Amino acid sequence: MKVLAAGDHFVRNNLIAEALRHDLAGSPLELAELTLPWPLEPFGKVAEVDEASDAEDALIEALDGVEVCVTQMAPFTERVLAAAPSLRMIAVCRGGPVNVNLRAAQARGVQVCSAPGRNAAATAEFTVGLMLAALRHIPQAHHSLAVKRSWDATHFTYDRCGTELEDAPVGLIGYGAVGSRVARVLAAFGAEVEVYDPYVRGDVHGMRATSLDALLSRSRVVTLHARLTPETQGLIGARELALLPRGSVLVNAARGGLLDTGALCDALDSGQLTAAALDTYEQEPPPAGSRLFTTPGLVLTPHLGGASRAVARKAARIAAAEVARHVRGEPLAHCLT
């Protein structure tokens, strides 16, 4: 069986190869490799698929005779799939196959699987880190001492010092793999956790809000964990931000499209929000003239929430396990076609 490892500079080909050789020990395996440029070059929309590396021609050439491809960013467009008649399976090393035209894959009998939950722990930890950075003004204090070389005592004044998570009412919008982990961590801090997720049934780690508006009106800190769908696009805008208690904090390490950036900057300028921390953006990277770079009170990171070495290894292992099931003729655990 010929397998293409189409890795990148995060889920590297050596990690994919190591996982495949472990799970397919004893099976004949011809392994080809293609290295895609992400994250050194940003992903984007390629033909009809979202969030892929713009490498259709290179991928078509590498897929010659390939039955299985393990990848994170390869653009499996209708054009690519039509040029790969030997292909039977695509194992995507990410939570969802947004780089694959599922309709075209299904029409050609190509199985597509993904690696849900691969970065849930990493993103949850990063979210709490952003929250602490925004609440306690850690980046500003670092900048004043390490960059300006100034021991700025005003950071210790009542007006400038931050607030604690203990006893703070924290609202979580979304209670999936990431949100549920964040809720457990916040409970350990002693926060008063409230959750809004209309798609979740059963117990949640905290009080369940009856509506989004109710959660916002009671939360001093809000963190976003919803999926980006047509229904959640622009979920938090000017109206929603105005419902928060004045001086609140917002964190978004989910998807940039959930939040109206202009409304966020307005809320920070007016003091409706005292701080915000973002890891994802409506446009990535944000344009050079974005208000995000001049609005005070913002902590900004370049979409790093799911970036840990453990995530890269875990993604490769999940994908390799699916390939092994394919080889043995077993049902896939995370099949989408």
Query: Are 166 and 285 part of one and the same domain?
Result: yes
In a domain, 285, yes or no: yes
Q: What is the pLDDT of residue 23?
A: 96
Query: Are 47 and 140 part of one and the same domain?
Result: no
Query: Are 317 and 179 part of one and the same domain?
Result: no
Range of the domain at 12: 2-118+308-328
Query: Are 90 and 215 part of one and the same domain?
Result: no
Name 291's Cβ contacts closer than 8 Å, sequence gap at least 6: 261, 262, 265
SS3 84: coil
In a domain, 281, yes or no: yes
Q: How far is CA 16 from CA 57, 96, 122, 157, 221, in A?
A: 22, 18, 20, 51, 39
In a domain, 337, yes or no: no
Which tokens hold the place of 4?
């293409």
- Given 166, 284, 309, 330, which residue is catalytic? 284
Cα-flanking dihedrals φ and ψ of residue 319, to 5°? Answer: -65, -45
Query: Are 9 and 96 part of one and the same domain?
Result: yes
Smallest CA-to-CA distance from 223 within 295, 265, 272, 280 is with 280
255 assigned to active site: yes
Question: How many domains, the chain?
Answer: 2
- Given 225, 255, 317, 326, which residue is catalytic? 255
Beta-sheet strands, E only, within 128-260? 169-173, 192-196, 207-208, 221-224, 248-252
Name 78's Cβ contacts closer than 8 Å, sequence gap at least 6: 47, 48, 101, 104
284 assigned to active site: yes
303 assigned to active site: yes
Query: Are 227 and 276 part of one and the same domain?
Result: yes
Q: Give the neighbor-by-neighbor strand order of the sheet with 192-196.
A: 207-208, 192-196, 169-173, 221-224, 248-252, 273-278, 298-300
Q: What is the pLDDT of residue 267?
A: 98
Q: What is the DSSP string of 197-221?
A: -TT--S--SSEEPSSHHHHHHH-SE
Q: What is the CATH number of the domain that holds 285?
A: 3.40.50.720
In a domain, 58, yes or no: yes
With the C-alpha atoms ordered 92, 96, 102, 106, is the resulting torsion angle positive or negative?
Answer: positive
Distance CA(1)–CA(89), nearest Å, equals: 12
Query: Are 211 and 130 part of one and the same domain?
Result: yes
Query: Are 160 and 224 part of one and the same domain?
Result: yes
In a domain, 72, yes or no: yes
Q: What is the pLDDT of residue 205?
A: 87
Query: Are 38 and 11 part of one and the same domain?
Result: yes
Q: What is the pLDDT of residue 287?
A: 95
SS3 172: strand
Q: What is the pLDDT of residue 201?
A: 85
Q: What is the pLDDT of residue 308?
A: 97
Query: Are 146 and 248 part of one and the same domain?
Result: yes
Query: Are 242 and 101 part of one and the same domain?
Result: no
In a domain, 336, yes or no: no
- Given 9, 136, 303, 313, which residue is catalytic? 303
Q: What is the pLDDT of residue 167?
A: 96
Query: Are 76 and 173 part of one and the same domain?
Result: no
Confirm if 31 and 48 have CB atoms less than 8 A apart.
no
- Which residues of the chain register pLDDT less than 50? none
In a domain, 333, yes or no: no
Q: What is the pLDDT of residue 5?
A: 98
